[in-house]
Structure 1
């Protein structure tokens, strides 16, 4: 089936222009700069007149936790992928700290099989590293798997890799991209003891960025960069949160780098002052830190020290979040609201529209070398998103699609709204409704 999307305001590869896009089956067939010529040439296609809405490539989120298997009271691949496409995210890369943990090739492939059955979005899953599964890690096929995940700091579903010899062996021997969660565990343990001694079990949430401190982040990130530099490893450091860490990275095109960096939406939107109103709802690891750290992240993003914007989407139930500091888990849902939040920041003057698309669509595709995604190009998969830049809406329980049913953005008014999402040429989301089912495909990588 052919579909012509016309009268679109196309944002792609640093340009904004009026035009039309022809979808033929799964792929983008033609791109037109003239709507009249497009409709004259294309006969028999279904025509969608979008009346000046933005047409962008589907966003690619390189860090999510969809909680399946084993933690499905928090989220599932089916529910969270539907929330993703409703937010304009057409591809995701999911983390291994599920139950069981994805630390063998067999368990990893079971996740791919499940996604093929239920995922609304395109998908890939990281192979998880532990202190004792090096042989399994080295079996991973880089053409079919996004990368290796190493927790160099403990978090939900503790997979901490703290054996120095094992770390060196992984960095030395793997040919795949290594993605790291970087927080220094001894520093966190020392800080935790100090605050527990002072407050007992009732540590205030405002202490979170002091317990999981800037020092802890820098020490661990510096170690990862040192190992990658020593062994020539392809390193991607996830969810950076401090000004100090920015000295570890260089500006430049993502395709030319061997060591790359990610920032998450919550570290760009919130700072330590928001703990007063949001409490545990914005408890993440690494912690949301100071306004000065947030400003440094923005500067690094705009100067291309930071390469991609992601979410670290990590749902927990509200009941779990209502516990006291030590018992409340870290993480929160974000994938439905990441694109609209960044477009809101663009409207406020923080970042040009073209750069939002670069950091959320183009750069992840280039960084991971994803096959034919992340751009509006002829011959690429038709992962496309329509956004109305003048359709305000308020995040509320009625329009939240996460299984956990809440969002740290609840009550926030956004000026942009995703009105339609195509995955592999199929219209899967339109005007608030999921209108077709399983359309996601396994991401493949040109490595």
Structure 2
């Protein structure tokens, strides 16, 4: 819903480590005024009485797979950005392993063009590195592109960067933030072959975290960290899944000064290997969901600031694709609509504060990627925001799932908190399970 002015009254604002009561006035797409009390400036201001609700900055998800172009039977930028808005995610950074892959400037800009016409949320894309596209990598404008994505395991197409000399050359040559998927490919191949000898293609799903093991993760991530230290590259390690890897990261440096950072995803905080018995391939991800001990260690590291960002790694597949034997069922699942409600559930369980959720899902992605004027409820910043009712239970079901794939690993889960309003650049995009179909997403820019 396009409106020039919105006044949110009587709301609890969660921002920069504080929660305070007040009013928020939005005009022409930005936070114009934040104060104890604000009066409507004219009769055409949309007034929302948010008594008892909480206003959060819009969530920034630094890792999604929206499947366009080429894999649009699973998802599109339009369908998944719409689902993201329902989940309070107002900005996303999408990955390059589409068909074709975003490994040339031309293909990258084609994705930006699609998003400019179809995205409900703000957007950027990562450029994909390969063993043979360093020349293209060096053409990327760091002010216009979120980061360089390297698959150091579990890639699609030709995106596995497995030549050590080329990898070091990439790390040494670019000023771009380098985001990496770390799993050692040879370890996984050897483990898979061993289990296939016993089970053929129908390997029991509970062996997934044994095949994609702690060893596979640590070997790859430790090599990436060592290379970043050697070359001085800016490294961001995606979706940590093991306790062992946490020793590679520090909380002794402020985020803005860190050269090596790490992310944790919702599914690695929520599920454990005990859930394979009921969820099966629906929770088959790469890296794998591992033990409850790993999950608990990741949560502790998040609270202690060894882990900097919470993301989704939203990666939908159709139900038919997922309903396959182990070796044929793809890894990944949809999460953007349910990530914030899941974190708010942890708040209700006294595991994390609202302020910490906002730090990890809103402020820190903006700091880490140097995103301009987003990630905060702050005067002069783009008005991306989420209104939350912490006491409005709802249950995830087929009728309210917004993903194109039509399923969720959270199906049947009752969340205590509900996202009641999502604002994109000052425009109301979503309200109580209702979508406003105008698209207000903008291309993210970076202060580099």
Asked if structure 1 preserves the Cα contact closer than 8 Å seen for 2:63 and 2:312, the reply is: yes
Residues 1:344 and 2:323 aligned together: no
Q: How does 1:254-269 map to 2 (within 5 A)?
A: 254-269=255-270
Q: Matches of 1:156 and 1:211 in 2, distance apart?
A: 18
In the other structure, the counterpart of 1:415 is: 416
Q: How does 1:283-432 map to 2 (within 5 A)?
A: 283-432=284-433
Asked if structure 1 preserves the Cα contact closer than 8 Å seen for 2:11 and 2:22, the reply is: yes
SS, match of residue 91 in structure 2: strand
How far off its partner does 1:41 sit? 6.7
Decide which moves more: 154-163 or 395-404.
Answer: 154-163
When the two structures are superposed, what TM-score results if normalisation uses the length of structure 1? 0.98
How far off its partner does 1:373 sit? 0.2
Q: Matches of 1:434 and 1:280 in 2, distance apart?
A: 30
In the other structure, the counterpart of 1:134 is: 134
How far off its partner does 1:199 sit? 1.1
Q: How does 1:177-326 map to 2 (within 5 A)?
A: 177-251=177-251, 252-326=253-327
| Residues 1:331 and 1:152: Cα distance change in structure 2 (over 3 Å) | same
Q: Matches of 2:40 and 2:385 in 1, distance apart?
A: 23
How far off its partner does 1:272 sit? 0.2
| Residues 1:208 and 1:126: Cα distance change in structure 2 (over 3 Å) | same
Residues 1:27 and 2:30 aligned together: yes
How far off its partner does 1:437 sit? 1.8
Q: Which runs of 5+ in 1 are unaligned?
A: none
How far off its partner does 1:438 sit? 1.2
Asked if structure 2 preserves the Cα contact closer than 8 Å seen for 1:6 and 1:49, the reply is: yes
1:17 corresponds, among 10, 16, 20, to 20
1:142-199 deviations in whole A, cap 9, x for unaligned? 1000000000002455621101111001100000000000000111111111111121
Matched length: 444
SS, match of residue 123 in structure 1: strand
How far off its partner does 1:253 sit? 2.5
Q: Matches of 1:290 and 1:315 in 2, distance apart?
A: 23
Residues 1:446 and 2:442 aligned together: no
Asked if structure 2 preserves the Cα contact closer than 8 Å seen for 1:155 and 1:330, the reply is: no
Asked if structure 1 preserves the Cα contact closer than 8 Å seen for 2:262 and 2:308, the reply is: yes
In the other structure, the counterpart of 2:9 is: 6
Q: Matches of 1:405 and 1:436 in 2, distance apart?
A: 19
Q: Matches of 1:140 and 1:437 in 2, distance apart?
A: 31
How far off its partner does 1:442 sit? 0.3
How far off its partner does 1:42 sit? 7.0
Q: Which runs of 5+ in 2 are unaligned?
A: none
Q: Matches of 2:72 and 2:152 in 1, distance apart?
A: 25
Q: Matches of 2:145 and 2:428 in 1, distance apart?
A: 26
When the two structures are superposed, what TM-score results if normalisation uses the length of structure 2? 0.98
CA RMSD of aligned residues (A): 1.0
Q: Matches of 1:71 and 1:40 in 2, distance apart?
A: 47
SS, match of residue 84 in structure 1: helix
How far off its partner does 1:313 sit? 0.1
Decide which moves more: 430-439 or 369-378.
Answer: 430-439
Q: Matches of 2:41 and 2:159 in 1, distance apart?
A: 56
* 4+ residue segments displaced more than 3 Å: 40-44, 155-158
Asked if structure 2 preserves the Cα contact closer than 8 Å seen for 1:98 and 1:157, the reply is: no
